Amino acid sequence: MFKPVFYKTGLETTFVQFLKEATMSLTSALTFEHVMKDSGYGANYSGYGLAASEYYPGYYQDTGWRPDTGVSANTYYFKGNTATVSNWYQFHGPSLTVNHSANSDNTKDRSWFSCKFLVDKPPPECSMLWYQDVPILTASSFITGVVNSYAFRADVCVDRLRDEIRVYVDDKLVQTTPFWRKLSRQPTSQIRFGSNQKINLGSSGPLAVYSYFAIWFKDIIFYDDTGDDTLCSPVGDYNIVRLPVVNAAGTGWTFSGTGPQLTNVLNNIPFNSSNHVTPIASSPDGTAPLTYGLDVSPLADDAVIEGLFTLHNGAAQNTGVTTLRLTYKQGELATPQQIIPYLTPRTYEYGVKTPIVQKSPANVRWTKQALAQVSVETVAFR
Residues 129-188 that bind another protein (CB under 8 A): 148-149, 153, 162, 164, 166, 168, 170-173, 176
- Window 337 to 356, contacts with another protein (CB under 8 A): 342, 351, 356
Local structure of 234: helix, strand or coil: coil
- Stretch touching another protein by CB under 8 A, among 94-102, 179-187, 276-284, 331-339: 276-284
Local structure of 173: helix, strand or coil: strand
- Window 277 to 296, contacts with another protein (CB under 8 A): 278-284, 288, 290, 292, 294
Q: How far is CA 195 from CA 91, 138, 147, 263, in A?
A: 6, 9, 18, 45
Q: Is residue 238 a contact point for another protein (CB under 8 A)?
A: yes
Convert 208-225 to b/e letters by CB count within 10 Å (16 or more is b): eebbbbbbbbbbbbbbbb
Question: Does residue 161 contact residue 187 with C-beta atoms inside 8 Å?
Answer: no
- Residue 150 forms beta bridges with which residues? 119
- Window 204 to 223, contacts with another protein (CB under 8 A): 212, 214, 216, 221
Q: Is residue 235 a contact point for another protein (CB under 8 A)?
A: yes
Q: How far is CA 289 from CA 69, 94, 164, in A?
A: 35, 41, 48
C-alpha to C-alpha distance for 307 and 238, rounded to whole angstroms: 12
Quick one: 57 or 64, whose CB is closer to another protein? 64
Quick one: 115 or 288, whose CB is closer to another protein? 288
Quick one: 132 or 359, whose CB is closer to another protein? 359
Contacting residue, 31, 104, 195, 327, with another protein by CB under 8 A: 31
Contacting residue, 177, 267, 373, 375, with another protein by CB under 8 A: 267
Quick one: 5 or 364, whose CB is closer to another protein? 5
Rounded to an integer, what is the distance from CA 358 to the centroid of its chain?
Answer: 16
Contacting residue, 304, 331, 337, 339, with another protein by CB under 8 A: 304
C-alpha to C-alpha distance for 9 and 107, rounded to whole angstroms: 21
Q: Is residue 44 a contact point for another protein (CB under 8 A)?
A: no
- Window 51 to 80, contacts with another protein (CB under 8 A): 64, 68-70, 72-76, 79
Strand order in the sheet with 110-120: 25-30, 214-224, 110-120, 150-159, 164-169, 172-178
- Window 101 to 130, contacts with another protein (CB under 8 A): 118, 120
Contacting residue, 124, 227, 314, 355, with another protein by CB under 8 A: 314
Quick one: 53 or 141, whose CB is closer to another protein? 141
Q: Is residue 382 a contact point for another protein (CB under 8 A)?
A: yes
Question: Does residue 62 contact residue 81 with C-beta atoms inside 8 Å?
Answer: yes
C-alpha to C-alpha distance for 66 and 81, rounded to whole angstroms: 8
**The residue type at 44:** N
Quick one: 13 or 127, whose CB is closer to another protein? 13
Size of the site for another protein (CB under 8 A): 122
Contacting residue, 21, 60, 337, 341, with another protein by CB under 8 A: 21
